[in-house]
Amino acid sequence: MDGKQLRWHNIALISFVSVWGLGNVVNNYALQGLTVVTSWVLIMIFYFVPYTLSVGQLGSTFKDSAGGVSSWIRETSTKRLAYYAAWTYWVVHIPYLAQRPQGIILAASWLFKGNGDFVNTIDSKVISVVCLIIFLFFLWLSSKGLKVIKIMGNMAGTAMFIMSILFIILAVSAPALRGTISATSNMTHLSTYIPKINMSYLATISMLLFAVGGAEKISPYVNSTKNPAKEFPKGMIALTIMVAICALLGSVAMGILFDADHIPNDLMVNGSYQAFAKLGDFYGVGSFFVILYSLSNVLAQISVLAFSIDAPLKMLLSDADSEFIPEKLAKTNKNGTPVNGYIFTGILVSILIIVPSFGIGNMTELIKWMTSLNAIVMPMCYLWVFLAYMWINKKHEKFPSEYKFVKNPTVGYLIGLWCFVFTAIACVLGMVPKISYASNHSEYIFQLTMNVMTPIVLLVLGMIIPAIARRGNKNRK
């Protein structure tokens, strides 16, 4: 049977489900209001298109590899840099894992209480302890290889995708079908969509990159595509169009439901649930949409937590080079579970769950800050994608590809360089706390310190691990 069965529309749908979600719309609207419409257009043209099509060429070039970023770096550079790429990809999931229990608690609060007030009725330190217990429980479950959770999560992920599309359709149609009046009064004014370029705006760019990132996950599908040179780029163009439509219409939908000139302080935390609550009122179905979305989100958060504990760690350790990864860290039990790796993950995530609660007392602010931290850290792994793309263009004669984003290697190199520099600058600018996140000066300084120190500490750890490996190797000789 021919293995190349995927068509361009299959590629577009697979990648869309993995890249996009309602939270991308809500978070960026909460930060920028309707000016985010212009931001989306610019990001799509100057970042998302070259990003996805670069991934397509990398996947096609290294069709015999596992398709991971570290394997691309190993082929184009050195084993040491490949280790750092693998480390970066794993370590950026630490803040992501630290936030998942918050999402589970919030979704459960909306599911059982119909609101998100629970998170602010209890001290943030207590909530953080509950989050820690939840995380440790799922860390233990994940170590047992509980496949049921992942199966449920796949179903929940599909449901979340459907709810995201449903949100846009219902919200955009509400004025015509239900006669509702847009919450934002000046939606027809061009000035409403023009952002003011200042430090506050620049600090939000990393959230946009966080929203559109992750295209490298689809690279293994390049060579399962029928006629990849033609169909894969068509799939990527379709993905870009789908994401652009959802981003633009989703932002307009948010403007219909929430006044862009008076954005609620907790919109980043409760916005998606509040949006479905409003839609339930508009269409006369009460809390039906909120219950559906909350249930889907609880299951999806559980699955993401279990999957994100297991998959990135195994990606780091499965192809571990004893020169860089200590034998004890890579050691597995009879079930193939890297037990010490799980313990190491547990320690880092536990620290990141507990420590911030001592400097940020309000749980709403803590969740918003953690979302912002993820937007700073997660795009760091995209840097390796652009490095690999620059290097295959620099050594284009050595790395032929069935599909090429651009035929001129110099232009390709410059595109990779642009995306690399833009991503790096966005990550650095994202470290500046959003003023509304901090209730006082000391909290602002705490957030700034955590934003700067967290990625530094996580990356420095990656430099220490090889030293431990070398010592272990020397002791065994």
Residues 6+ apart with CB under 8 A from 281: none
Q: What is the pTM of this model?
A: 0.91
State the pLDDT at residue 66.
60
Structure tokens at 258: 């929430």
Given a contact cutoff of 8 angstroms between Cβ atoms, the answer to whether 302 and 149 are in contact is yes
Is 152 within a domain? yes
With b for 16 or more beta-carbon neighbours within 10 A and e for fewer, the 140-160 pattern comes to: ebbbeeeeebbebbeebbebb
pLDDT at 71: 86
Block means of pLDDT (10 residues each) for the chain, 477 residues, are 70 81 94 96 94 87 74 91 92 94 92 83 88 93 70 73 90 86 89 92 95 80 74 83 92 95 92 95 94 90 82 77 85 81 94 92 88 95 96 93 89 97 97 69 90 95 91 72
Question: Measured between alpha carbons, how far is 438 from 85 in angstroms, rounded to an integer?
Answer: 33
- The number of distinct structural domains making up the chain is 1
Rounded to an integer, what distance in angstroms lies between the CA atom of residue 72 and that of residue 12?
23
Task: Report the amino acid identity of residue 381.
Answer: C
Instruction: Say which residue the tokens 């799980």 belong to.
Output: 342
Is residue 83 in a domain?
Answer: yes
Classify each residue of 328-355 as buried b or exposed e, where b means 16 or more C-beta atoms within 10 Å of its C-beta.
ebbeeeeeebbebbbebbbebbbebbee
* Residue 175: predicted pLDDT: 87
Crossing angle between the packed helical segments 124-143 and 339-354, to the nearest 10 degrees: 170
Q: What is the pLDDT of residues 356-385, one digit of tens each?
A: 999 887 888 899 999 999 999 999 999 999
pLDDT reported for residue 161: 83
- Show the domain range for 137: 8-466
DSSP-derived 3-state class of residue 225: strand
In a domain? residue 471: no
Is 475 part of a structural domain of the chain? no
Residue 201: predicted pLDDT: 93
Q: Mutual orientation of helices 69-76 and 79-91 as an angle, nearest 10°? A: 160
The answer to the question of residue 476 being in a domain is: no
Distance of CA 246 to the CA centre of its chain: 17
| Structural domain contains residue 2 | no
In the chain, the largest separation of any two C-alpha atoms, in whole Å, equals 78
- Could you give the CA distance from residue 50 to residue 63 in angstroms, rounded to a whole number? 20
CATH of residue 302: 1.20.1740.10
Q: Is 474 a domain residue?
A: no
CA 28-160-219 angle, to 5 degrees, is 80
- Distance CA(23)–CA(296), nearest Å, equals 13
Give residue 271's region: left, alpha or beta (phi > 0; psi -120 to 50).
alpha
Say how far apart CA 410 and CA 401 lie, in whole Å: 16
Residues ≥6 apart with Cβ < 8 Å to 62:
71, 72, 75
Query: Does 3 fall in a domain?
Result: no
For the chain, the helix, strand and coil percentages under 3-state DSSP, each to the nearest 5 = 75, 0, 20
